[in-house]
């Protein structure tokens, strides 16, 4: 799949969606339901967006505390907010 667009990043991010993993997770939670073909891709998309928002929030928190490193408290605080938002 497509690699990281920014060359500055040292790590190569694989953009492949773990489709099997997503399907398995959904089945484990809701065995009586079925997921459509492209449905898991959209689930992956939603996860990506969630993680993206979480990262943004944690970065903001870390910057507010003037930390160069993202601490777990930053992440916790961010998670609280974002999870509330993603409730739907």
Contacts of 22 (CB under 8 A, 6+ apart): 40, 43, 44, 47
Interface residues for another protein in 5-34 (CB under 8 A)? 9, 11, 13, 15-18, 21-22, 24-26, 29-30, 32-34
> Contact between 51 and another protein (CB under 8 A)?
yes
Angle at 50 between CA 47 and CA 51, to 5 degrees: 90
> Contact between 41 and another protein (CB under 8 A)?
yes
Angle at 63 between CA 5 and CA 68, to 5 degrees: 75
Give the interface with another protein as residue ranges (CB under 8 A).
1-2, 4, 9, 11, 13, 15-18, 21-22, 24-26, 29-30, 32-39, 41-52, 54-56, 58-59, 62, 68-72, 74-76, 79, 82-83, 85-88
């Amino acid at each position: 799949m497509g690699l990281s667009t920014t060359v500055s990043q040292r790590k190569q991010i694989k953009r492949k969606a773990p489709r099997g993993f997503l399907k398995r997770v959904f089945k484990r939670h809701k065995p009586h339901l079925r997921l459509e073909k492209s449905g898991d891709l959209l689930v992956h998309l939603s996860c990506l967006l969630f993680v993206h928002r979480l990262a943004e929030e944690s970065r903001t928190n870390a910057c507010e505390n003037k930390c160069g490193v993202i601490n777990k408290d930053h992440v916790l605080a961010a998670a609280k907010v974002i999870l509330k938002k993603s409730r739907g």
